Structure 1
């Protein structure tokens, strides 16, 4: 007795002559954020677009070229504040917030920017702006360099933490299971954790506000008192 194979739904074809580089990159960003760079293939991209794989090759030589173009496009989304304000600390805060938004809104961005040789100078512009602002606050060269690295480590780390926590807690019942696990902790063995379990659960959902509170604290500690 033969077993019938599941019928795959037909691929929805894109309208004729509707393909263009922008549309390809839009689909690539969606796939990269959803599945990650490791799972990204030209075939998956073509299926997302509703075209044959060779149609994508008409615009891009291959996956590496698309990854480079996506990385550049994502960098372009960082909104830098107008320069020249009387408060370099506030400008610096806005630059950090822009980098944080990039990595939380596009989880693939960090890995792409780490692995790809991005063309253009968008990443360099961000670094240069941060260093210039740190020097304008009155920090010495070595202090400005260290402060830049500290701020980037905090910003990138906070974005990764938020992405991974949200993914872990988005499963049905995940928050309830975590709360039950915290409630079940023996207070005699974990007194601080058991006592602060409600506050920890509330802080899980603060997201950007939590990052900004930490950023403000770091800026107060790093920058000279004016």
Structure 2
């Protein structure tokens, strides 16, 4: 018998009922972070948790249910304090910054937050807080919701773009690609692109995110 297979076969599984729902979700997050969302399966999660596949099914109905729980865990831990009464624009700004921060903490899970519903019990509290701050400032309910969605969509899209260029791959690779690509563009044929050559590699940086967010919120305020 192959030594590795023998070791694997001899490894003792954890005792029955020694898992918790939190540990199952933690295991899924660890697996996704290490190998990607597409690698997640019930057998692989069972291996990650040192348990049988049917044990996993005792905590989640299927993979879709598991991904919903993973998404809920991620949004539950947003680094956002909703106890105060800031202005509507500051509340919206704080939410977006917290959402981006959370996505960058888990770059391989950013796509998951794009594809699935951003919802959990604590997320309901966040949205209620945001809409209340906007209502207190005189916003109509439908317009407040539109503003929230516009800022959130910008943040989700930027975070996925940013994570791919600064987290999944080294930012230096992104910067080098731009510089090599622009070096092949004749200045006489592409004068405007050459004018901004030093700025193009910076599109995925934090300063660009805040620049866009401030102008988005400012534009929303002007349209009230």
Report the CA distance shift for 1:173/1:97 in structure 2 as closer, same or farther (over 3 A): closer
Gaps of 5+ in 1: none
Report the CA distance shift for 1:217/1:63 in structure 2 as closer, same or farther (over 3 A): same
1:79-138 Cα offsets, whole Å, 9 max, x none, are: 3323442533222211111222233323435535744696x5333333333222223333
Gaps of 5+ in 2: none
Q: Which residue of structure 1 aligns with residue 187 of structure 2?
A: 187
Q: Which residue of structure 2 aligns with residue 218 of structure 1?
A: 216
Q: Which residue of structure 2 aligns with residue 206 of structure 1?
A: 205
**Kept after mapping to 2: 8 A contact 1:29/1:70:** yes
Report the CA distance shift for 1:93/1:31 in structure 2 as closer, same or farther (over 3 A): same
Aligned counterparts of 2:111 and 2:124: Cα–Cα separation in 1: 15
Note the C-alpha offset of 1:158.
1.0
Aligned length: 217
Note the C-alpha offset of 1:162.
0.9
Aligned counterparts of 1:13 and 1:186: Cα–Cα separation in 2: 63
Aligned counterparts of 1:197 and 1:9: Cα–Cα separation in 2: 58
Aligned counterparts of 1:190 and 1:172: Cα–Cα separation in 2: 24
**Kept after mapping to 1: 8 A contact 2:42/2:53:** yes
Please, what TM-score do these two structures have when normalized by structure 1?
0.75
SS of match in other structure, 2:161: helix
Note the C-alpha offset of 1:168.
6.7
**Kept after mapping to 2: 8 A contact 1:46/1:52:** yes
Report the CA distance shift for 1:104/1:214 in structure 2 as closer, same or farther (over 3 A): same
Please, what TM-score do these two structures have when normalized by structure 2?
0.75
SS of match in other structure, 1:91: helix
Tell me which stretches of 4 or more aligned residues in structure 1 moved more than 6 Å.
none
Aligned counterparts of 2:97 and 2:169: Cα–Cα separation in 1: 24
**Kept after mapping to 2: 8 A contact 1:71/1:113:** no
Alignment of 1:41-52 (within 5 A): 41-52=41-52
1:27-59 Cα offsets, whole Å, 9 max, x none, are: 201223454444310122123334443443344
**Kept after mapping to 2: 8 A contact 1:88/1:134:** yes
Q: Which residue of structure 2 aligns with residue 108 of structure 1?
A: 109
Alignment of 1:41-190 (within 5 A): 41-106=41-106, 107-108=108-109, 111=112, 114-115=115-116, 120-166=120-166, 169-170=169-170, 175-190=175-190
**Kept after mapping to 1: 8 A contact 2:71/2:118:** no
Aligned counterparts of 2:185 and 2:45: Cα–Cα separation in 1: 46
Note the C-alpha offset of 1:10.
4.9
Report the CA distance shift for 1:35/1:101 in structure 2 as closer, same or farther (over 3 A): same
